[in-house]
Amino acid sequence: AVPVALVSGLSRAAQIGVLIKGGGALETLAKIRVLVVDKTGTLTHGSARLVSTRILGALGEEEVLRLAASLDQASGHPVARALVEEARRRGLTLAQPQDVTEMPGEGVTGRVDERHVVVGGAGLMRRQGLCFEPAGGAGGLAAAAATVLVAVDGAPAAILDFADPLRTDGGSTLVRLRACGIARVVLATGDRRDVAQALGAGLPIDSVAADLDPAAKTEIVAAEQRFGPVMMVGDGVNDAPALAAADLGVALGARGAAAAAEAADVVLLVDSLAPLPAAIRIARRARAIAL
């Protein structure tokens, strides 16, 4: 039987929007020393807005956006949703994509109106043998950004820059987590290194790991376990393996992927990281009473 103190801890956590899947997870939450945190959709809102489009080929802006957004209808990625919204705002009529393959956290390939379209990050483009000039350029890159590359019929077509603001309480939550016993914080993202480093520079973060596919995120979690029990926080399908591998997986449930919530031991029912420090305190108190 689960001790009464743990049951009441679970219910107190639920009251602040933290769903903990059982007494074991509550006990683990009390012992966490390392936080591995995802970027897009977790530290940032993931509700990105398209701020600039750089056209690289012969296709015009509207046509590239229409093709990319048509394909990204097949993806649940936060930046993909933002791209589809932007296309709709511009009144573009989207087509049904065919032969769609999604690589979680990397992007999507498929056919739109008999054209072969690839939408995603730099890693996916490299593997497709597509060479994009280094994005960001001389103008530098905003810290809170996400860049989506678009290729059509085997040639680079556009670089889409999205603004993806940091959650207003993101930095202060990390500070509060450090104050309650989290000794080490690592940012683990599928996004580009320069974007990740610019974001991490303004935050109390010890290490930044970028350009990670889902397997590489899992390796980061495993490597961090030498510092103590690891809590991984993420929102996406691409975070699910790392959430399962961590001592404690925490998913953003409000707008995150269902696969992440399933793989996690803890689901945040509110669209915010803010209740995590209080949840740790609840877990510690419950464990102290139960022991």
From ligand ADP, Mg ion, none, interface partner of 72 (C-beta below 5 to 8 A by class): ligand ADP
Chain positions 27 to 56 lying near ligand ADP, rule: CB under 6 A, are 38-41
**Please, are residues 147 and 135 in contact by the beta-carbon 8 Å criterion?**
yes
**Please, are residues 145 and 160 in contact by the beta-carbon 8 Å criterion?**
no
The residue sitting closest to ligand ADP, measured at its beta carbon, is 190
**Of the two residues 27 and 86, which places its CB atom closer to ligand ADP in the complex?**
86
**Please, are residues 249 and 265 in contact by the beta-carbon 8 Å criterion?**
yes
**Please, are residues 125 and 117 in contact by the beta-carbon 8 Å criterion?**
no
**Of the two residues 146 and 198, which places its CB atom closer to ligand ADP in the complex?**
146
Shortest distance, position 167 Cβ to Mg ion, whole Å? 12
From Mg ion, ligand ADP, none, interface partner of 191 (C-beta below 5 to 8 A by class): ligand ADP
Stretch that binds ligand ADP, among 118-126, 165-173, 201-209, 247-255 (CB under 6 A): 118-126
Please pick, from the candidates 106, 247, 265, 271, the single residue that binds ligand ADP as defined by CB under 6 A.
Answer: 106
Q: Does 224 bind ligand ADP (CB under 6 A)?
A: no
DSSP character string of 65-126: HHHHHHHHTT---HHHHHHHHHHHHTTPPPPPPEEEEEETTTEEEEEETTEEEEEE-HHHHH
**Of the two residues 27 and 213, which places its CB atom closer to Mg ion in the complex?**
213
Shortest distance, position 183 Cβ to ligand ADP, whole Å? 23
Chain positions 125 to 154 lying near ligand ADP, rule: CB under 6 A, are 146-148
Shortest distance, position 266 Cβ to ligand ADP, whole Å? 18
Residues 6+ apart with CB under 8 A from 274: 169, 173
Residues within the interface to Mg ion (CB under 5 A): 38, 40-41, 235-236
Please pick, from the candidates 79, 185, 246, 248, the single residue that binds ligand ADP as defined by CB under 6 A.
Answer: 79
Q: Does 290 bind ligand ADP (CB under 6 A)?
A: no
Cα(99)–Cα(166) distance, integer angstroms: 34
Q: Decide if 38 is catalytic.
A: yes
Helix or strand (DSSP H, E) at 55:
strand 49-55
282: phi then psi, degrees, rounded to nearest 5: -60, -45
**Of the two residues 40 and 218, which places its CB atom closer to Mg ion in the complex?**
40
Residues 6+ apart with CB under 8 A from 223: none
Distances (CA, A) of 268 to 20, 118, 146, 167, 188: 9, 33, 24, 15, 19
Residues lying near ligand ADP in the complex (CB under 6 A) are found at 38-41, 72, 75, 77, 79-80, 105-108, 119-121, 146-148, 189-191, 236, 238
Give me the active site residues, please.
38
